[in-house]
Amino acid sequence: MIKHLRSAADLDAATATLILDTAGEMAALAGREVKKLPTLRGRTVVNLFYEDSTRTRISFEAAAKRLSADVINFSAKGSSVSKGESLKDTALTLQAMGADAVVIRHPASGAPHRLAAWVDGSVVNAGDGTHEHPTQALLDAYTMRSRLGRLDGLSVAIVGDVLHSRVARSNVWMLHLLGADVALVAPPTLLPIAIDDWPCSVSYDLDAALPKSDVVMMLRIQQERMNAAYFPSVREYSRRYGLDSARLRQLPEGAIVMHPGPMNRGVEIAAEVADSPRSTIVEQVANGVSVRMAVLYLLLGGLEAAQ
């Protein structure tokens, strides 16, 4: 098993599949009266978050606690970071405290790779800048496999603000690794310059992509990361690339709708679509805990401990 999970590229197909299979076993705990395992008792997991987060931070915290690990939540706000402390000095402090794993979310792309050089424990990337978010890609893959029974050969359309989306980057590589066919659908201004090097196809027409998609994943417009006008108006964007009830009917029977959250209801996805039976958005949140339990379990030697 790998030591760090900094990028989807850290995984090969066998390791990614092992994580998904282990997550399935972890999900079975949700039906038990006592939802905890003693596997990581005595281990310390630090949630090191330099950006605001609700789902991801709580999901990692719940995952670690269900494995009986000790959890330290570190927020940049109200810490020595606000006094100018560097990431390296923070890392050395965590190292001195004996952190076995550090889950990091940081506005700078590449921060988890730097952190891994400064601590002895495992590093898990919970989102770095506009780079990657590998556990989100794993939970998305797990959700697709749970709903549709397979990943190999699935047609997945990822729609929206690909340029600023770490979720899109991780999903393209993860889904390609596991055998799915990925299409990115977005206006040209919201696609990265080096998109030709990605293992996916590109389309500018959502209506053309929907009828041949088993999964459509809507991305949030990240206006907080935009410093220019990438489209004429929110209304125009929603008209061209928003998923409403009429477009939902264009999907094949059995196709599902996903969104990594948080959603801009009425912009990239209509409220009635987000709340429809085809939506997996709530499932993704629940599956996130199981997948992150699997990641922590395997990274911190749970597999060996159980043998």
Mean pLDDT of the chain: 91
Is 36 marked active-site? no
Task: Assign 65 a pLDDT band (cuts: 50, 70, 90).
Answer: very high
Task: Assign 2 a pLDDT band (cuts: 50, 70, 90).
Answer: confident
pLDDT of residue 81: 67
State the Cα–Cα distance between residues 66 and 210, nearest whole angstrom. Answer: 39
Q: Is the predicted pLDDT of residue 306 greater than 50, yes or no?
A: no
Backbone angles phi, psi at 118, to 5 degrees: -110, -10
| Residues whose CB is less than 8 angstroms from the CB of residue 10 and which lie 6 or more positions away in sequence, other chains included | 2, 4, 134
Choosing from 43, 105, 220, 247, the catalytic residue is 105
pLDDT of residue 289: 96
Tell me the CA distances in angstroms from 254 to 54, 66, 226, 249, one per residue in order: 30, 33, 35, 11
**pLDDT tens digit sequence for 144-174:** 999 999 999 999 999 999 998 999 999 999 9
Choosing from 3, 55, 113, 278, the catalytic residue is 55
CB 285 within 8 A of CB 77: no
Pairing of strands 181-185, 155-159: parallel
Backbone angles phi, psi at 277, to 5 degrees: -60, -20
pLDDT of residue 305: 41
Give me 261's structure tokens. Answer: 């959250």
Residue 175, helix vs strand vs coil: helix
What single-letter DSSP state applies at residue 252?
P
Is 83 marked active-site? yes
Task: Assign 123 a pLDDT band (cuts: 50, 70, 90).
Answer: very high
The model's pTM: 0.93
Pairing of strands 44-49, 101-106: parallel
Choosing from 56, 90, 135, 143, the catalytic residue is 56
Is 56 marked active-site? yes
Choosing from 43, 133, 166, 259, the catalytic residue is 133
Backbone angles phi, psi at 121, to 5 degrees: -75, 180
Choosing from 32, 77, 83, 249, the catalytic residue is 83
Is 3 marked active-site? no
Residue 197, helix vs strand vs coil: helix
- Can you tell me the mean pLDDT for 25-31? 86
CB 105 within 8 A of CB 48: yes
Task: Assign 228 a pLDDT band (cuts: 50, 70, 90).
Answer: low
Q: Is the predicted pLDDT of residue 64 greater than 70, yes or no?
A: yes
